[in-house]
Amino acid sequence: MGLLEKMSRKAVLLDRLRDQPKPSSRMRVLGSFIHPDIDEIMGIESREWVTRDRRLKNKGIPMMGLGFAGLLQPNSEPVVAPSATTGVTSETNLYTPATTTNAGWALIPMNTLRSPQALFVIACGIITSSAGSQTVAVTSRIGTSATPSSNASLGATGAVALGSTITNALWVYNAFATVRALGSGTTATAVAHAEITISQQASGSATTAAIGMSGNTSATFDSTIQQGWVISVTPSASGVSAQLTQFALIAWD
């Protein structure tokens, strides 16, 4: 007798027993009739999953994973952290002091993005202000140029207040981007949101913080070449010094 036929017959039996006054009888029916068939159906379904996944794998279709579609590449803190940006009031890439190319940035390997796909960037570091009422704005970008403004902008925060005369205060940056479309590859589009939290006290004694946010900003870039995620700062005074100490970029479907 086939499984469907068995289920049909048992459904009739259950229907006949539905209006019987003894709840315990219904409980016994559920225990003896339904549970074994659920196990059998689950077994059939799980075997089908194995067959389906094998077919997808043989066709080269990505099923799931954390990372890029291509070969996974190290995509985190460089061996030597970039030096601090000091004495500037113009927009400066936090990665630039260590390298003038995107080889040392949070990398996005060429031809690895898909649509839709999500990118998550986590970064942290320290910041110093030499006087009161100083601020810093943070911009997220994607590109290849050592000049921040030459890269596509994914949004900038407003001026985030810094604590008065702080040394090596902590900051944490989180950004989330979605690849909306790949286009022809050279016209890929992403939209992003980002947040930076900056301690108002010196390192190790963070009790209050200022937060800056940017978001709902889209950018067009070339996904057929290696791109870098840019985190840039624009200090209000040359006495503001910012340094990137750690970062990681994660991509997932």
Amino acid sitting at position 136: V
What is the structure's pLDDT at 156? Answer: 97
Q: For the segment 114-144, what is each residue's pLDDT rounded down to a tens digit?
A: 888 889 999 999 999 999 899 999 999 999 8
Q: What tokens appear for 186 in the block?
A: 């050279």
Kindly list the domain boundaries of the chain, sorted by start residue: 3-58, 92-252
Residue 153 has pLDDT above 90, yes or no: yes
Q: For the segment 61-78, what is each residue's pLDDT rounded down to a tens digit?
A: 554 444 344 333 435 444
Range list of H helices, 18-34? 23-29
What is the structure's pLDDT at 209? Answer: 93
CA angle 215, 218, 223 (to 5 degrees): 130
Residue 30 has pLDDT above 60, yes or no: no
What is the structure's pLDDT at 24? Answer: 45
What is the structure's pLDDT at 6? Answer: 63
Mean pLDDT on 95-121: 74
Which residue shows structure tokens 């949004």? 155
Amino acid sitting at position 237: A
Q: Are 76 and 104 in contact (CB under 8 A)?
A: no
Q: Strands across the sheet with 169-181, in order?
A: 209-221, 188-199, 169-181, 117-128, 241-252
Q: Is the dihedral of CA 79, 80, 81, 85 positive or negative?
A: negative
C-beta neighbour count of 18 within 10 angstroms:
9
Fill in the DSSP letter of residue 205.
Answer: -
Q: Considering only CA atoms, give the Rg of the chain.
A: 28
- Is the pLDDT higher at 22 or at 178? 178
Residue 230 has pLDDT above 70, yes or no: yes
What is the structure's pLDDT at 59? Answer: 66
